[in-house]
Amino acid sequence: MKTNPKKRPRSSLIRFVRANAMEMWQLDAFEYTLTGGKTKITVYQLLDDSTRFDVGTQAFHGVENSADAIQTISAAFTDYGVPQELLTDNGNAFNGNRQGWVVTTQLFLADHGCRGISGMPGHPQTQGKNERGHQTLLRVLDANRPRSLEQAQKVIVAFRDRYNNRRRHQALPGNMTPRQAWEAAVHTPSNGTPIPRTEVEAIAREYAQRRRVQAALNQPLPDQNRFAGEPFPEAADAVPDRVVIAAGNPQLYVHAVGLGVPKSLVGTYQSVVTEDAYTLFDPTTGEEAVYFPLPIRTAETVRRYPLWRVVGARMRGATKTWLTKQHDYLLKHFPSEAPADRTVTICH
């Protein structure tokens, strides 16, 4: 009899799963429109990779963001402890490594001894367990038709109880419930030792360098006759060395992020980009106009925000208002980074 690989049973496929509970959790979010069609909420689904145990699914008003993600994770840490790793997608609310920057969720995890990791872009199968869980929860929400966040939260509490304690899971040995698997499993949580923030930033910096290398490799090959004897450009040369800040939309772009600046900086600048910093210089006077460390660190989860929200940023001609905004923002989100003297962020 001839075999047909296309007809092989699903059970023959290799499943990737951690051996022990608490080795890794998976976090993912989806947007849901409440009955009535006007109010949207975001549901954060948090599962243990090995046992499929739901350790803390929650819902919040508004779009996906770091603050709500951290609140979800923090509550689960309180209830069950800290896992070794947390797997997410590459959304700005979760993990910015592959974009070359660090987000507050990563720093929160590192401070608690949990390493934030992310799947390959455009490869949702990495978060397949969560994606499958979304489908089930979406059907439950649709069946109950919640009209408010409070109603949706009650539905989620009931869902978690049934999912963890009564609904047998086909992917678990003996079709156990997630609770049974959770209680039977060996638990290997994090030892709680904080991961240095410099280590988290170094990983993001490495990804940023890879992006520069890839950009360089994607450039058209130079004319061999014209450039005979000249060295091939380094990866950093892939970053444009001339930056124009336009009057109609005064901002500069770094790693697909738009950083808003005052109109006083409108003009053309020379950029110098290293693994550790981004700097703009006035090409005529050589004066530093903008500086900030890489990878970018901010509490934002959007792709456009003002420069004063970047940790360590400084700017030529910064006004007292600009410095006050920067100081208050750092004091709120990165208190250890807030300068005692607001004037230190002015470029000289």
pLDDT in tens, 191-248: 999 999 888 888 888 887 777 666 666 655 444 333 333 333 333 333 447 788 888 8
- For residue 230, the model assigns a pLDDT of 38
- What rounded mean pLDDT belongs to the chain? 81
Six token digits for residue 166: 């009564």
- For residue 140, the model assigns a pLDDT of 93
Those residues of the chain that have pLDDT short of 50 are: 1, 8-15, 123, 126, 221-240, 344-345, 348
* CB proximity list for 40: less than 8 A, separation 6 or greater: 31, 32, 33, 34, 62, 63
Return the bridge partners of 78, or none. none
* CB proximity list for 86: less than 8 A, separation 6 or greater: 24, 25, 26, 27, 73, 109, 114, 115, 116, 117
The type of residue at 319 is: T
Radius of gyration for the chain, computed over Cα atoms and rounded to the nearest angstrom: 24
- For residue 129, the model assigns a pLDDT of 52
User: Can you tell me the distance from the alpha carbon of 8 to that of 14, in angstroms, rounded to the nearest whole number?
Assistant: 12
| Half-sphere exposure in the Cβ direction for 287 (13 Å, CA) | 12
**The CATH number of the domain covering residues in 13-208:** 3.30.420.10
- For residue 240, the model assigns a pLDDT of 47
* CB proximity list for 268: less than 8 A, separation 6 or greater: 242, 243, 244, 245, 283
Domain ranges for the chain, please list them: 13-208, 239-347
